[in-house]
Amino acid sequence: MLSKNEMSSSASLGTRSYTTDSSTAASLAFPRTKPFNFWVKLGIAGVLAYLTIQMINIETHGRRLQTMNPEDWKKVMEGHPYQRPAPDASRGPCPAINTLANHGFINRDGRNVTQKQLYEGVVKLGMAPLAAHFISRLPYSMFKQHHPPDGPFSYFRSAKTIDLEQLGIHNTIEHDVSLSRSDVNLPPYSTIQLVPERLEQMIYIAAKRTNGEKGDQQQKQQVYILDKDVYDHRKLCWLESIRDNPYLLVGLNQQMAITAETAAVLDILGRNLAISEDHLRSFFLDEKIPADWHPPHDSSTLGMFKRLWESFQGVQKSKATLPRDNREGSD
Ligand code: HEM
């Protein structure tokens, strides 16, 4: 039996009856019927199928650009000899992209670089195609030059080309606490200029672990920088920035970039979480592809995400501290 109140707020439409109180007003406007659910589900399935096909296309097209063995890579490199950048060339803070320019995989002067060039360049260097597809779009959406008369739609358009120095625009992709550059607010006040002492610190950490504190010159072994060494170096750089840089910003975006770069050093420039000192110096100091290096052919976007997490935790768990400084801050 319906109460008087309930009877007054119910209406009958054909065989179906709907209540008309305010809490069910939404279901009156959009009655949920089986056919509606069916079309929604079909739509979602269609979108997912489309995205999956797109991702497979990107992966298969990208893999075709990659060389699968060192012999093929040697042939590729014959067409891409190293040249030092001209004094007026444009260079940015990414050692890998500068290296691509020095070998002519992208414009050698680092100017007017298209997204296609950048994407193909980083894929040839061994980045997983899906990751490269998204990451190579970032600078073009960020660095479009807008003008006062531009309407709101201008902000949804991407730049056609970039100059590599634009990658150094602070807190876009570029960030504080870099492996080889100082924070922009600390000397030499450049996001692009390499600071050799930073690189030496990373190598020193690895050399100390390999050869002991004094580093016996007679028995000195080839130094490999391992994941743990990079995490210790990152932590020391971070603590230095906390100490010296009042404008330091390390949020989630910056963390994502920092951990991705750490993964790139260990898995693309290096192998299996290690890079030799010679290769590290070649990529960072000379921005040159070492003669005995070849790209990995098994990098995956999922694997990259796994590495991001490992890298995040690696820095978190690192025991490195600044000399005579135990103030690490707390949560
Ligand atoms: C299109 C793809 C890429 C873009 C847009 C990009 C951009 C950048 C930018 C803006 C930085 C500066 C971050 C900072 O402030 O330290 C950077 C750093 C770095 N990038 Fe890339 N990069 C790309 C691909 C790669 C690839 C494929 C590799 C490795 C093979 C790589 C390795 C690195 C490393 C190791 C750093 C850290 C340098 C440092 O901390 O001193 N990048 N990248």
pLDDT tens track for 130-162:
999 999 999 999 999 999 999 999 999 999 999
Rounded distance from Cα 216 to ligand 1 centre (Å): 34
180, 237 contact by CB (below 8 A): no
Note the pLDDT tens digit of each residue in 308-321. 999 999 999 999 99
Q: How many residues are present in the chain?
A: 331
Position 256 scores a pLDDT of 94
Confidence check: pLDDT of 49 > 50: yes
What number does the ligand 1 atom closest to the CA of 172 have? 10
pLDDT (mean) for 31-56: 88
Average pLDDT of the chain?
A: 89
Note the pLDDT tens digit of each residue in 158-207. 999 999 999 999 999 999 999 999 999 999 999 999 999 999 999 999 99
CA distance 9 to 20: 5
CA distance 154 to 125: 33
List of domains in the chain: 38-317 (1.10.489.10)
Between the two ends of the chain, the Cα-to-Cα distance in Å is: 60
Note the pLDDT tens digit of each residue in 243-294. 999 999 999 999 999 999 999 999 999 998 999 999 999 999 999 999 999 9
CA distance 93 to 237: 16
- The residue whose CA has the least distance to atom 25 of ligand 1 is 96
Position 215 scores a pLDDT of 53
Residues lining ligand 1, judged by CB closer than 6 Å? 93-97, 118, 122, 125, 127, 135-136, 138-139, 167, 173-175, 178-181, 191, 257, 261, 264-265, 268-269
- The residue whose CA has the least distance to atom 26 of ligand 1 is 96
Amino acid (1-letter code) at residue 253: N
Position 27 scores a pLDDT of 55
112, 161 contact by CB (below 8 A): yes
Bridge partners for 12 per DSSP: 17
pLDDT band at 36; cut points 50, 70, 90: confident
Per residue, the 3-state secondary structure of 160-188, as one string, reads CEECHHHHHCECCCECCCCCCCCCCCCCC
CA distance 182 to 294: 29
CA distance 102 to 118: 13
Closest among 304, 308, 303 to 258, alpha carbons compared: 308
**Portion of the chain with pLDDT greater than 70, in percent:** 85
Pocket test for ligand 1, best of 202, 261, 288 (most atoms within 8 A of CB): 261
Rounded distance from Cα 96 to ligand 1 centre (Å): 6
Q: Tell me which of 111-115, 163-167, 303-307 is least confident.
A: 303-307
